[in-house]
């Protein structure tokens, strides 16, 4: 049952973060400026992982991290557009929806 605590905590942190981000945008601090500063800070922190070493992938496999980065970037832009133009109480639950592609059958 303890394994449910991490997703629950993450969802609460996301909602509070979205509320604070929306409040900051109302007070004049732009959503995009906040995102750029946060991304620069996190990139500086995670750049230190290069010091741990490791090995590079062969060039044929570079499309996988590039695709993941592109999808993350698109998701972040769309989430920020939803928070900038809409209300947090509407945008946050909609972003948490999971649409099922196949109906569940009870046989």
Q: Note the pLDDT tens digit of each residue in 1-60.
A: 778 888 888 888 888 888 888 888 888 888 888 889 989 999 999 999 888 888 888 988
What would the 3-class secondary structure string for 61-73 be? HCHHHHHHHHHHH
Distance CA 35, CA 31 (A): 6
Residues 66 and 17 sit within 8 Å (Cβ to Cβ) = no
63 has pLDDT over 90: yes
Q: Note the pLDDT tens digit of each residue in 69-106.
A: 999 999 888 888 888 887 777 777 776 665 555 555 44
Residues 96 and 11 sit within 8 Å (Cβ to Cβ) = yes
Residues 21 and 13 sit within 8 Å (Cβ to Cβ) = no
């Amino acid at each position: 049952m303890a394994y449910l605590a991490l997703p629950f905590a993450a969802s609460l942190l996301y909602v509070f973060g979205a509320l604070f981000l929306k409040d900051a945008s109302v007070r004049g601090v732009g959503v995009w400026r906040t995102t750029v500063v946060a991304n620069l800070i996190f990139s500086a922190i995670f750049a230190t992982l290069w010091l741990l070493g490791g090995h590079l992938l062969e060039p044929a496999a570079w499309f996988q991290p590039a695709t993941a980065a592109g999808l993350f970037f698109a998701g972040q832009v769309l989430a920020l557009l939803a928070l900038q133009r809409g209300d947090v109480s509407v945008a946050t639950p909609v972003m948490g929806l999971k649409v099922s592609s196949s109906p569940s059958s009870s046989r």
